[in-house]
């Protein structure tokens, strides 16, 4: 039996809003030379946008919190569930950017005491912005 909170609906627009806000947060952290945090939030912004796109692909306006948690944090699997893997793979530079981010990003970054550098953070921000823009232009929603 699933817990009651797992059945709580999360509006798709909440995922989109979180994506927008986390990218803003990533920019602020980058500007404050908190590069590891900026990188983490870039990936999280992508995760949120992909969950929004899953809702759009399914034609639903919400998903249960438990379902969102089951989808997890694996960006390639989330992209696959959006139905946008093939179109993205046709955009060579964006697809490479996605592969680079997804191969280096995980939620483990949030527990890391490690440091990243400015150029790595700049690349994550640049690639994340480009991918988010592309994702947001893939439908009327």
State how far the Cα of 20 lies from the Cα of 42, in Å rounded to an integer.
10
Rounded CA-CA distance 49/68 in Å is 12
Rounded-to-integer distance, Cα 12 and Cα 49, Å: 9
pLDDT at 1 over 90: no
- The structure's pTM equals 0.90
Name the average pLDDT for the chain.
Answer: 90
The CATH topology of domain 4-136 is 1.20.120
- Say which DSSP state 109 is in: G
CB 12 within 8 A of CB 52: yes
- pLDDT tens digits along 33-49: 999 999 999 999 999 99
Instruction: Decide which of 114 and 95 is more confident.
Output: 95
């Amino acid at each position: 039996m699933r817990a009651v909170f797992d059945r709580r609906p999360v509006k798709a627009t909440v995922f989109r809003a979180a994506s927008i806000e986390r990218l803003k947060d990533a920019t602020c952290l980058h500007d404050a030379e908190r590069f590891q945090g900026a990188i983490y939030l870039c990936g999280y912004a992508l995760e949120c946008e992909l969950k929004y796109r899953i809702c759009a692909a399914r034609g639903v306006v919400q998903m249960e919190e438990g379902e969102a948690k089951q989808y997890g944090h694996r960006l390639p699997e989330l992209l696959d569930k959006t139905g946008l893997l093939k179109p993205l793979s046709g955009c060579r530079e964006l697809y490479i950017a996605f592969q680079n981010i997804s191969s280096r990003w995980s939620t483990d970054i949030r527990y890391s005491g490690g440091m990243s550098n400015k150029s790595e953070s700049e690349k994550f921000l640049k690639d994340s912005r480009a991918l988010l823009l592309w994702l947001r232009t893939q439908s009327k929603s």
